[in-house]
Every structure is written in C-alpha cells, then in structure tokens.
C-alpha cells in the first residue's frame, strides 16, 4: 500500500435532520492525513450518522464535507460491526470482491491479519474475530485514503477485541491511513487514537488530543486519568439527555 500523506478531511457547519429531529448540528472538523480519530458518546448522539455522511451514504442537511486529495476520486472505505461477508464466496474472493488481478496482494493481507492458509475457506467455518479480520483485509486492499470504522469490534469478546485492536494498530503503524472510528469503548479509543471526540446533543463537546507514544499500555496511569475524564464526560452527556 502507499500513503501520499497529503489528504485532509474537512467538515464545515455539517448538520443532519430527519424530519423535525436534528441529529447533528454545526460540526466543524479538520482531520489531517494519517490521523486516527475516535468518536465516543451516548447512543443516539449522531456518531454513526456522522460516519455515514463522511462515507457519502447519506447527504448532510447543512454544511459541507470535503476530502482534500490529489486523487480525483479519493477512496473511502467503511467497515461495520457486522462483517458483511458474502457466504457463498471464499475468504480470498471476499477480499478481492470487485477487483481483478489482486490475489497476491489479498494473500499478503490475509497473512498480515493472521489468516494465512485460510484463503479457500468459506465464512461459515470462521469465528467472529476471523470474519472481522477478513473484513479488515477487504477494506485495506483498496488502499483507502480514509478508513471509516463503525464499532467494528463491538460484537467480539474481550480477548478477541483486544487482539483486533492490537492488529489494527500494527497494520496502521506499517501503512498509515486516516481513520475515523465510532466506538462505545473509551479504553479502545484511548489505546488507538490520536484524538478522541466526545459528542453530545449532536455536537462535538470535547476534542481531546492523546499525546502518548505507541505502543500504549492499558495500565498506564496517564491513560487511566484520561479514561476517568472521558467517562465523566459521557456520564454528564447521558444525564443531560
């Protein structure tokens, strides 16, 4: 994969309404190339809606979203909580869906996510964590400028989830991407992110920079203090609803 390092995601005055209900209001963000940003907040504050707007799956009601890049059509890929694999296609053919002549790259990616030798298996024989690894490989083979992750590890058990977080961190260390992650897991956000955005009432209530080197350790007292701070913010946002 290549990473030019000149992309930038820009949101100005972004809002979204469904009928009379305002889900998002006045979102202004600048996300430079290679930055990992997490969105946290209570359910219903617009986190996944914002991700869908950035992905182009829905239009904003107000404002504009621009992906500034030298590429005429910057590639944006989204990974969901459900793996969305095609059950009738092998692991390899799920990764190369819509592509031709990329088998060698797909095999290399499957090896990178710990699935070497499973190329000819079908999704039904894989565990939940293995299926998410396939979904991650499928997203990365397109070499996206922007990777959008909508609670991709939310349905996994704690051990598998931690393993997937570590895997994602290692892959991005080798081949940086701009990432926007929606998660309910504050610790996950702190372990992976350069910035954590706390959302409240459809707005960004807190933009917290995580100035810690990687790899990070879950027992780090600085992370523990940041976790406590963000949990207090989440509780306050929940109580204000």
Q: Is the pLDDT of residue 104 over 70?
A: yes
Q: Does this model's pTM top 0.75?
A: yes
- Confidence band, pLDDT 50/70/90 cuts, at residue 5: low
Measured CA to CA, the distance from residue 68 to residue 63 in angstroms comes to: 16
Domains, the chain, in order of start with CATH, read 1-33+43-73+184-241 (3.40.50.300)
Measured CA to CA, the distance from residue 187 to residue 102 in angstroms comes to: 36
Measured CA to CA, the distance from residue 46 to residue 110 in angstroms comes to: 33
pLDDT tens sequence across 194-232:
999 999 999 999 999 998 988 888 889 999 999 999 999
Measured CA to CA, the distance from residue 237 to residue 218 in angstroms comes to: 25
Q: Are 54 and 182 in contact (CB under 8 A)?
A: no
pLDDT average, residue stretch 88-95: 97
pLDDT tens sequence across 23-63:
999 999 999 999 999 999 999 899 999 999 999 999 999 99
Which parts of the chain fold into alpha helices (H)? Answer: 47-55, 91-95, 103-112, 128-140, 158-174, 186-192, 221-239
Residue 42's alpha-carbon distances to 50, 173, 203, in angstroms, are 14, 30, 12
What pLDDT is stored for residue 219 in this prediction? 87
Short-list 141, 191, 142, CA closest to 169: 191
Q: Is the pLDDT of residue 180 over 50?
A: yes
- Average pLDDT taken over every residue of the chain: 92
Q: Considering the chain, what percentage of its residues have pLDDT values greater than 70?
A: 97
What pLDDT is stored for residue 6 in this prediction? 61
pLDDT average, residue stretch 133-153: 94
What pLDDT is stored for residue 1 in this prediction? 35
Where is pLDDT greater, at 26 or 81? 26
DSSP string, 143-169: --SEEEEESTTTTS-HHHHHHHHHHHH
**Where is 181: in which H helix or E strand?**
strand 178-182
What pLDDT is stored for residue 197 in this prediction? 97
pLDDT average, residue stretch 59-75: 88
Q: Are 198 and 237 in contact (CB under 8 A)?
A: yes
Q: Are 177 and 217 in contact (CB under 8 A)?
A: no
Give me the count of residues in the chain.
Answer: 241
What pLDDT is stored for residue 160 in this prediction? 92
The angle, 0 to 180 degrees and rounded to 10, between the axes of the packed helices 128-140 and 158-174 is: 20
């Amino acid at each position: 994969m290549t990473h030019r390092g000149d992309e930038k995601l820009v949101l100005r005055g972004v809002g979204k309404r469904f009928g009379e209900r305002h889900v998002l209001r006045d979102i202004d963000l600048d996300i430079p190339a290679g930055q990992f940003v997490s969105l946290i907040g209570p359910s219903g504050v617009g986190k996944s809606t914002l991700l869908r707007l950035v992905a182009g799956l829905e239009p904003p009601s107000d404002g504009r979203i621009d992906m500034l890049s030298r590429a005429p059509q910057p590639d944006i890929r989204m990974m969901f909580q459900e793996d969305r694999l095609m059950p009738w296609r092998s692991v390899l053919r799920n990764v190369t869906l819509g592509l031709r002549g990329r088998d060698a790259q797909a095999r290399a990616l499957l090896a990178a996510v710990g699935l070497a030798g499973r190329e000819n298996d079908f999704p039904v024989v894989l565990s939940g964590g293995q299926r998410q690894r396939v979904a991650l490989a499928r997203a990365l083979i397109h070499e996206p400028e922007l990777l959008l992750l909508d609670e991709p590890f939310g349905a996994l058990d704690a051990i598998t989830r931690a393993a997937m977080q570590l895997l994602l961190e290692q892959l991005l260390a080798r081949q940086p991407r701009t990432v926007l992650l929606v998660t309910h897991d504050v610790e996950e956000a702190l372990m992976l992110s350069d910035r954590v955005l706390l959302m409240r009432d459809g707005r960004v209530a807190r933009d917290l920079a995580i100035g810690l080197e990687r790899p990070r350790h879950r027992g780090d007292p600085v992370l523990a203090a940041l976790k406590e701070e963000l949990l207090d913010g989440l509780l306050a946002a929940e109580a204000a609803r």
